[in-house]
Structure 1
């Protein structure tokens, strides 16, 4: 009796076309080599003598930077294992702010050390276990050498924060102006609410032109003058303790829609329709004036009719204010964003000690200082080229994050790679 041949189960592989399913020692070595290639790219940016990289993306935009996280993000790494290096640089940037190049280099050196063991056939599990033990020993050692910060002496505490900010700037473009910028960074962070320490409340504005020392810290909110209509020149440009109204409505005459249809029997009715439109906008403007607002801001346009109306009554207005800037203004001056002008009460209006529109470089800026509601501030950065100012901003972001971390966590260790060594 002939034996039955067992039927083979058909294998279904649910993978995308062109998928490489390599595994084992060869793949581990390939992963390590890919990571080391990325590490070699950023290695030269480390330290006070580190060089900046000039990177051009597919859109042709140029970035000059020696910030590890920025470079890693712009490298557009495709290899899946090497992408983990991009992730650790990003998480370091989000958590600590500085040391983004150091973590990539440290990870690369650790991988380089194990390459020999992998080639000799040592199991990755043993290597990982060893690294986990080593990490614990390193953390214990760091806790041992850490210095505790006491907030008892304000002068000493501020001095320590300046030293921490200075370390973050030591390898950056702004190192030559360290004293000027460390002061600015520490002042900015100390102006925030010390419980929340939300670094997003530190606004940054870039204005090309001028020297780096022309940069300034505004104790409040500043944003670029928005598009303005005729009549704007006649409005007052500064107030003391003004009432500020923030709106999300359009203040201009609406053009009739092409498909609107109105049927009338005689000419007087047409006049009534036109008058109704004017009546609506005038009643809105009158309500705003009666509310006592001296500065009117809106996310949507404020037209020429409203601009002239406010100018005649000594009121300043700005329409088309970017949402981010308007939200910071509302948070800083108090009050709330209004989507209608009916029933405006005093509690809906914000205030600040001083409002001014002034020229900074080639731009005009609206500045709100001495804001009572939320502690916020704005850094206005000056410098030669746009890429140069962008790099200054990245350097200051690192320093701000370090100072914030210092205040939140009262332990600090020597920076600038000293601990890693």
Structure 2
């Protein structure tokens, strides 16, 4: 930054420089920086572009620990990519926000944001001020969202059976682009059944458990109308316990049922050696008292978040009671929700109201694992999916796919409005914005037309990923959508034949909320990146010897929390 003019002894006038930033600070600004940010975002988009749609391909991502993930879920891929460019990280944020807000459409939102930026690039290169573009892009996004709401069809007010069928169609549309797309009808029905088991006021997704068991085919997956969890760590005596009950009482605990004396590092001084036996007997009396009270409560199934030792296991087996210790907190929470049991921290004064129940409890072999199943729970507000598959990576991706489908069904239940998929809604929005742009004078017409062109990227990418001629299909779609009276508004890409199809009639549906959120988030990310005109990278702090200084326990600390600082760490 320049200061006031100064006169040198030789009479020359100079303007001294004022140093604001530390030496080594990297600053980039102006049009070049903006175009650089746009290019970085477009490079990120190209990495997920081919995963869109039913014919989309998967990505294999390997992290620094050698863990590999195969997925075509946009949010998963964006999270696993180690993106270092500061502007491109905004695309990761919108993918995550779409995933948390809606559950699906993560690839769509990233591709839309990238295409908006691609359309902006020529304007920026020609010297158009970014704020002009931002103004009209926001206006176009608001119009597009309003049009989606106009075109949406409500499934509210349908009878229960018809509504389940409509929700199944939404789930199948989501699953068609996933690895389990070949069995989308089977899993679509499972997702709808799972959501319908939840409390319809809360629709808490945590109440749907997903368990993965390697081996078998996808068709061997099943839904439990209650809770299922893997057999916990078992002590001697476990095999003697009964593994099947009808209408049992369930006691849920949060305390240990095992001898504690060996764990305590206590010192006891005795003047009389005979007193030692009394201390040992006291330990046994305490645990036997607890076990007797558990059995006296009338419970036939005893679950605890903490350990149930070998003594307790054998004691319960002798009395025809089933027990399981070290049940995970998530599984115990779902058991209490399903059976109505309340978690106890003491076994004193356990009343019948604190016990839960279910119609059937059984232990069942699933592949190489044994599962404890609670079925037919009263007023069950939870359920469990047990997924089968031939490979671990396949099951992991199946679980991610089903999570997307479950989220879509949840959103469709809460916001019962759907729009045609297959790029139909995108083409209709594009046509609507083009028509509107004709009535705008000045540069705004160009910007809204650019926004409308960008929306066509979804059907174009569906064609590219399916191996069809995108230009030919888009021309057919433009022709259909240009029909008067909105007769062609439901036509989208037919990924099976490479033609066009009435997406609504073909039951290719998606919740309106997915498209509304995707357009809004993509537009916000675009406006954010366009509003950046300078990037400043501060230099890393360095020690007296020029070596970078890291916080204690950082990359250089051999001892973790402040080790001896070898390697790239702080030198002593």
- Post-superposition Cα deviations, 1:327-353, rounded to whole Å, max 9, x if no partner, equal 111122112111111121122211111
Alignment partners' CA distance in 2, 1:125 and 1:379? 50
TM-superposed deviation, 1:416: 3.5
**Match for residue 72 of structure 1 among 63, 69, 78:** 78
Q: Does the alignment pair 1:128 with 2:128? A: no
SS in 1 for 2:385: strand
TM-superposed deviation, 1:19: 4.5
Q: Does the alignment pair 1:174 with 2:161? A: no
Partner of 1:22 in structure 2?
28
SS in 2 for 1:419: helix
Alignment partners' CA distance in 1, 2:17 and 2:46? 48
Partner of 1:333 in structure 2?
339
Partner of 1:233 in structure 2?
239
SS in 2 for 1:73: helix
**Match for residue 284 of structure 1 among 290, 303, 308:** 290
TM-superposed deviation, 1:156: 2.0
SS in 1 for 2:92: helix
Q: Does the alignment pair 1:104 with 2:104? A: no
- Post-superposition Cα deviations, 1:23-60, rounded to whole Å, max 9, x if no partner, equal 22111111100000000111111112211111101111
Indicate if the aligned counterparts of 2:261 and 2:283 stay in contact, CA closer than 8 A. no
Indicate if the aligned counterparts of 1:102 and 1:417 stay in contact, CA closer than 8 A. no
TM-superposed deviation, 1:417: 3.2
**Two-structure CA RMSD over aligned residues (Å):** 1.9
Partner of 1:320 in structure 2?
326
Greater shift, 246-255 or 221-230, is seen at 246-255
**Match for residue 208 of structure 2 among 202, 208, 221:** 202
Alignment partners' CA distance in 2, 1:388 and 1:26? 44
Indicate if the aligned counterparts of 2:197 and 2:380 stay in contact, CA closer than 8 A. no
**Match for residue 36 of structure 1 among 33, 42, 58:** 42
What pairs with 1:366-385 in structure 2 (closer than 5 Å)? 366-372=372-378, 374-385=380-391
Indicate if the aligned counterparts of 2:230 and 2:370 stay in contact, CA closer than 8 A. yes
Q: Does the alignment pair 1:161 with 2:161? A: no
Alignment partners' CA distance in 2, 1:339 and 1:413? 50
Indicate if the aligned counterparts of 2:225 and 2:380 stay in contact, CA closer than 8 A. no
TM-superposed deviation, 1:139: 1.2
SS in 2 for 1:44: helix
Alignment partners' CA distance in 2, 1:338 and 1:285? 14
Alignment partners' CA distance in 2, 1:331 and 1:51? 40
Indicate if the aligned counterparts of 1:331 and 1:373 stay in contact, CA closer than 8 A. no
SS in 1 for 2:235: coil
Name structure 1 gaps, 5 residues minimum. none
Alignment partners' CA distance in 2, 1:100 and 1:257? 50
SS in 1 for 2:27: coil
**Match for residue 48 of structure 1 among 54, 58, 81:** 54
Q: Does the alignment pair 1:397 with 2:410? A: no
Structure index of larger Rg: 2
**Match for residue 308 of structure 1 among 269, 292, 314:** 314
Q: Does the alignment pair 1:138 with 2:148? A: no
Q: Does the alignment pair 1:410 with 2:416? A: yes
SS in 2 for 1:277: helix
- Relative to 1, partners in 2 of residues 1:116 and 1:204: Cα closer, same or farther, differing over 3 Å? same
- Relative to 1, partners in 2 of residues 1:29 and 1:9: Cα closer, same or farther, differing over 3 Å? closer
Alignment partners' CA distance in 2, 1:405 and 1:259? 54
Greater shift, 225-234 or 246-255, is seen at 246-255
TM-score under structure 2 normalisation?
Answer: 0.70
**Match for residue 149 of structure 1 among 144, 151, 155:** 155
Alignment partners' CA distance in 2, 1:358 and 1:140? 52
**Match for residue 367 of structure 2 among 342, 361, 378:** 361
Alignment partners' CA distance in 2, 1:155 and 1:291? 42
TM-superposed deviation, 1:152: 2.9
TM-superposed deviation, 1:230: 0.4
- Post-superposition Cα deviations, 1:84-115, rounded to whole Å, max 9, x if no partner, equal 11111111111221111111111101100000
TM-superposed deviation, 1:265: 2.2
Partner of 1:267 in structure 2?
273
TM-score under structure 1 normalisation?
Answer: 0.95
TM-superposed deviation, 1:293: 1.0
Alignment partners' CA distance in 1, 2:262 and 2:374? 37
TM-superposed deviation, 1:20: 2.9
Alignment partners' CA distance in 2, 1:252 and 1:416? 59
SS in 1 for 2:420: coil
Count of residue pairs the alignment pairs up? 417
TM-superposed deviation, 1:8: 7.8
Alignment partners' CA distance in 1, 2:20 and 2:58? 50
Indicate if the aligned counterparts of 1:238 and 1:354 stay in contact, CA closer than 8 A. yes
Alignment partners' CA distance in 2, 1:4 and 1:330? 84
Alignment partners' CA distance in 1, 2:178 and 2:266? 60
SS in 2 for 1:85: helix
Indicate if the aligned counterparts of 1:167 and 1:416 stay in contact, CA closer than 8 A. no
